[in-house]
Structure 1
């Protein structure tokens, strides 16, 4: 499992998972020769002399690590816009839209898993595009993927700026806070492994849960911002939005489930993706859909027509400051999860160009 496919579509840096050998691949001028590989080879139970593994395999993620990485990647800032979706569509259509698009996200992610099972040499979604449509399609997919991860990481930096501006009472200009947020996200991406992203999964989930609890508490003890004296909550079950507003609301839901672009990169770093990814994906989708529906319905029922987007703006300034302070770890890990995908793709392409695939997991100056 996880061995390279020996066809014309195999990327130059495809590396099979660690086996019973510690030699590196003979990848040409940038690699080692066959004599060196033979000298390093450990005894093996089966004959795999024609294929060898890197000195340190990048396949290190267990099922638990994958679940945490997927939660870090998907559950985050997007949930704060979902109460506004119910405000636009109405409670019942909005809830059905969240569940329906969540199931669609689950299906498309599972299709990626099935594709990976047939082509386990791919390292990212661009490699999948190369298998399907050749180099031209891969270029289009690479442009789209980089644009998506850049915009998502930029969104995290802007939200980070808003949070610090509110907490510090505008102690620094928004541009300064944005630059600081970009620097923090970049530093978090330096380890270059999805396993590191999985380590941030628990702090990220605790962060967004705590911020949500504070927001709900603020709406329970006081009226939402802008509500007049004597206002009473009356949720709208079915709304009549314009086509533009309805489409925009659905796109916000899609953004909340937009983590699929990173899933292939995670599968490439799993020790047993064929066995573990489907279970990890089920954990992700069931928990995220349930959490999204709970947060959206609860906050919308408390704020109704005064629901803001993001929802943290619906409560008083004091509660909003506390909530924004608690959500900062989730903001940074969102930038990490998507920024890592883009940085890893660029790193792998450079590794391919210089034909030094044996150093893909190294920690030296050249790598």
Structure 2
């Protein structure tokens, strides 16, 4: 049970939050006050800890695929697309934050999906399915990268499938904490080490004598715009790689639902938005400049000479384990809360509660391992996730519910903003339809070109 000092601290926080008298603040304050009696408390994250979770989500493995995207799009379009998508994601995330603050009773994107579609239970279930699949795909990406790391670092004859199992088990153990507050410290460490990995990749790309796989007489080719013959499928795949890395809003409602004061969320969001534009653009441009079109890989560690590759890749290891665990935790929390809606198992240290939590987490990692074996290539998995689970339509609809009826056309600026959000709906539909087509076609072409050994293969996938 909570101690008296803990109860007092929670009640003081609830009182402080509700001083402005708004319905939203009163609702959050009531939730915190109710939790003061619980063994496991959820609304405990400060904005700094929420920022740490966001940093761990965005300073991630996918950013080392940016040099490959830049090699397809060209240097100039690559930077433009990065800034444009980042700006769009910042804006839509701010809209989503305002929506969540207006509706603090909503704990995840599935609650929002049901609300946006008129309370439809079908909308709730479909959103839940897509939400869980999105998170498991991201976990699968980390299982895939973990097996790549273990194959790259070792000369063992172990089967790649075994390395995937090892990665899944480690990630499963990291996923076990029940609250995001408990995971925020690991998030800081994950983001810091991933930042070092990216910095080292840029430095090593510049100081190495030539990229890995260099062919004598074939100097790295760097272009400002796409090279002649660039196909729609490859260009769309590069765009989706960038989009996936920046479109991480599906977890934002879950993060806000555990904040002590959700009104502080924009502080966390602006901190990560500024950092991601700078780091993504620099990583993409600098590494691409030194390795060129012929030698670039996704992830970019593969473009480095063996010693440099192993050093930089090793600093990404905490992110491989933690970020997948974060998505597993968010998925497990959603399922766990639905199983124990009003039960004391939801917020108490009971045998049934912990057994159920552990079982759900384990199930997500089994699913992730299966996906990693079915789609065993980095860039195409990013493209699939971006096209299937892009959420621009959701955030535009959230805006339209914040300004119902004629209020959305109240003045030139509001009207322009409304038109922009209708544009996001069109963009979201385009990404889903065209992106899914190009992603599947790219996967088919990868198998036809024998760029991968096949599904559930023991063949090494080392960089």
Q: TM-score, normalised by structure 1?
A: 0.83
Q: Tell me which residue corresponds to 1:38.
A: none
Secondary structure, aligned partner of 1:58: coil
Instruction: Work out the CA distance in 2 between the residues paired with 1:258 and 1:110.
Output: 13
Paired residue for 1:331, among 320, 327, 334? 320
Residue 302 of structure 1 deviates from its aligned partner by 0.8
Instruction: Work out the CA distance in 1 between the residues paired with 2:35 and 2:167.
Output: 42
Instruction: Work out the CA distance in 2 between the residues paired with 1:340 and 1:66.
Output: 15
Secondary structure, aligned partner of 1:17: helix
Structure of higher RCO (CA pairs closer than 8 Å, 6+ residues apart): 1
Say if 1:114 and 1:252 are closer, same or farther in 2 by CA, change over 3 A.
same
Residue 333 of structure 1 deviates from its aligned partner by 1.4
Q: Tell me which residue corresponds to 2:390.
A: none
Task: Kindly report structure 1 stretches of 4+ aligned residues shifted beyond 6 Å.
Answer: 2-5
Paired residue for 1:77, among 53, 61, 77? 61
Aligned partners of 1:207 and 1:326 also within 8 Å: yes
Q: Tell me which residue corresponds to 2:437.
A: none
Residue 20 of structure 1 deviates from its aligned partner by 8.3
Instruction: Work out the CA distance in 1 between the residues paired with 2:47 and 2:103.
Output: 20
Q: Tell me which residue corresponds to 1:226.
A: 213
Say if 1:15 and 1:338 are closer, same or farther in 2 by CA, change over 3 A.
farther
Q: Tell me which residue corresponds to 2:262.
A: 273
Q: Does 1:17 align with 2:31?
A: yes
Q: How does 1:13-52 map to 2 (within 5 A)?
A: 16-19=30-33, 22=36
Q: Tell me which residue corresponds to 2:46.
A: 62
Q: Deviations over 1:194-249 (max 9, x none)?
A: 11221112221222122223323332222102323355455200114321111111
Instruction: Work out the CA distance in 1 between the residues paired with 2:23 and 2:346.
Output: 16
Paired residue for 1:255, among 226, 239, 244? 244
Q: Tell me which residue corresponds to 1:204.
A: 190
Instruction: Work out the CA distance in 2 between the residues paired with 1:178 and 1:21.
Output: 39
Secondary structure, aligned partner of 2:213: coil
Secondary structure, aligned partner of 1:280: helix
Aligned partners of 2:53 and 2:188 also within 8 Å: no
Residue 55 of structure 1 deviates from its aligned partner by 5.9
Say if 1:185 and 1:118 are closer, same or farther in 2 by CA, change over 3 A.
same
Structure 2: tracts of 5 or more residues without a match: 1-16, 354-463
Q: Tell me which residue corresponds to 2:360.
A: none
Q: Deviations over 1:104-157 (max 9, x none)?
A: 111221121111122110111001112222211001100101111011101101
Secondary structure, aligned partner of 1:319: helix
Instruction: Work out the CA distance in 2 between the residues paired with 1:22 and 1:100.
Output: 43
Aligned partners of 1:149 and 1:338 also within 8 Å: yes
Number of residues of Structure 1 aligned to a counterpart in Structure 2: 326
Instruction: Work out the CA distance in 2 between the residues paired with 1:292 and 1:273.
Output: 27
Q: Tell me which residue corresponds to 2:73.
A: 89
Aligned partners of 1:233 and 1:302 also within 8 Å: yes
Say if 1:159 and 1:22 are closer, same or farther in 2 by CA, change over 3 A.
closer
Q: Tell me which residue corresponds to 2:200.
A: 214
Q: How does 1:291-302 map to 2 (within 5 A)?
A: 291-302=279-290
Q: Does 1:304 align with 2:318?
A: no
Q: Tell me which residue corresponds to 1:243.
A: 232
Q: Cα RMSD (Å) of the superposition?
A: 2.3
Residue 187 of structure 1 deviates from its aligned partner by 1.4
Structure 1: tracts of 5 or more residues without a match: 24-53
Paired residue for 1:175, among 158, 161, 174? 161
Secondary structure, aligned partner of 1:289: helix
Q: Does 1:118 align with 2:102?
A: yes
